Amino acid sequence: MTVAISATGLWTPSDSITNAELVASFNTYVERFNAEHAAEIAAGTKMALQPSSVEFIEKASGIKHRFVMDKAGSLDVDRMMPRIPERPNAEISLMAEVALNAAKQALERAGRDAREIGAVICSCSSLQRPYPALAIEVQNASAQAASATTNVACSSATFAIQNAIDIVNAGHAQSVLVVNRELTTGHLNFRDRDSDFIFGDAAVAILVEKADIAPKGAWTILGSKLKTVFSNNIRNNFGFLNRGDEAHRDDPDKLITQQGRKVFKEVVPLVSEMILEQMAAMNLKASDMRRLWLHQANSNMNRLIAERVLGHEASQDEAPTVLDVYGNTAGAGSIIAFHNHSDDLKAGDKGLICSFGTGYSEGSIFVQKSA
């Protein structure tokens, strides 16, 4: 059965932070920390913290700006984490609300009523709570359908798209709504200069449907490939067992930690080889690929991967970057690139939505614009 992406939706918070604002807050924290611990630093029993810089961030990552749930709390030097008040159980949860914002846009763009949706898949890098499942809450507020929640970190959206393709192919539903909401700043360490600049908040939605009911201009799925290779290089040890060890419950490893350089070196060959293998299996040449919508973790990484796949340095038109505006939005990154940079393509154009990241996990979805 032919399956298509009928439409996508994108939601971002109204707050945002520039590199200059982030660095100013972090460097104030560093000055305070070093002043408070001057004696220990002088005695060599504590390491002085090093300041961050806008120049480093832009050169190392390509990130200039990111949308965030709560700017004030994240930049407040006495706090350095978003302020997200708990809601009563009778109210919709923040993550479900955010997911619905993106979902409504995808449904509107496809001209689809929520009652036509046969299944809802919510996928993301971090869940607000273990249960009840976020997907069931989203489903309750929108579609009359079965639902499931998945987490494959940066590949959450592409792996969920594969699940949606399988559901349609198996005949269980004709329209499957995938929602990927990434509130990354909730588990970002704003006191760590190696990672505080990387992530931003966003939610995306992808409507996957049987091709013969999809609207004009939908994206036919030509093929897909998922891959996982275990690695500890990006890790977050937060979880429901933490309360069993009070001594380590609030350690920095309960937020995201990563060996960024190792990730860079290992993931570039892994991803480019997987894409090339899949292209060969599908008889696709580099010249067939009109556009690559790659995961948005690092602009230098994307430049290298796109060059290996296309055989030449890719232009912004061939492999658009949205990192400068959104930062790394985990699973949402490649979908934001697709959402913002696909309307200009013509019927028959082929492209690739590709995620990669924590796990490691990689997901490739090859698409072709229909008439």
User: Which structure tokens are listed for 20?
Assistant: 């200059």
Q: Which is nearer to ligand CO8, 3 or 154 (CB)?
A: 154
Q: Which is nearer to ligand CO8, 93 or 259 (CB)?
A: 259
- Quick check: 25 binds ligand CO8 (CB under 6 A)? no
Q: How far is the CB of 263 from ligand CO8 (least distance, A)?
A: 4
Phi-psi region of 104 (alpha: psi -120 to 50; beta: other; left: phi over 0): alpha
Options 328, 334, 361, 364; binder of ligand CO8; rule CB under 6 A: 328
Tell me which stretch binds ligand CO8 (CB under 6 A): 98-106, 114-122, 189-197, 206-214: 189-197
Q: Which is nearer to ligand CO8, 33 or 56 (CB)?
A: 56
Options 99, 102, 154, 304; binder of ligand CO8; rule CB under 6 A: 154
* CA dihedral of residues 53, 29, 22, 239 (deg, nearest 10): 110
Distance CA 328, CA 279 (A): 26
Options 358, 361, 364, 368; binder of ligand CO8; rule CB under 6 A: 358
User: Which structure tokens are listed for 364?
Assistant: 């490739």
Active site residue 122: no
In the chain, which ranges are E strands?
A: 3-11, 15-18, 65-68, 119-123, 146-150, 175-182, 202-210, 219-228, 234-235, 257-258, 289-294, 350-357, 361-369
Q: Which is nearer to ligand CO8, 33 or 264 (CB)?
A: 264
User: Which structure tokens are listed for 170?
Assistant: 């198996």
What is the tally of helices (H) and strands (E) in the chain?
11, 13
Which one from 122, 124, 154, 354 is the annotated catalytic residue? 154
Q: How far is the CB of 198 from ligand CO8 (least distance, A)?
A: 6
Q: How far is the CB of 91 from ligand CO8 (least distance, A)?
A: 25
**Which residues sit opposite 352 in a β-bridge?**
292, 366
- Quick check: 52 binds ligand CO8 (CB under 6 A)? yes
Q: Which is nearer to ligand CO8, 52 or 278 (CB)?
A: 52
User: Which structure tokens are listed for 317?
Assistant: 């038109």
Q: Return the CA Rg of the chain.
A: 21
Residues lying near ligand CO8 in the complex (CB under 6 A) are found at 52-53, 56-57, 60-61, 125, 153-154, 184, 187-188, 193-194, 197, 199, 234, 256, 258, 260-261, 263-264, 267, 297-298, 301, 328, 330, 357-358
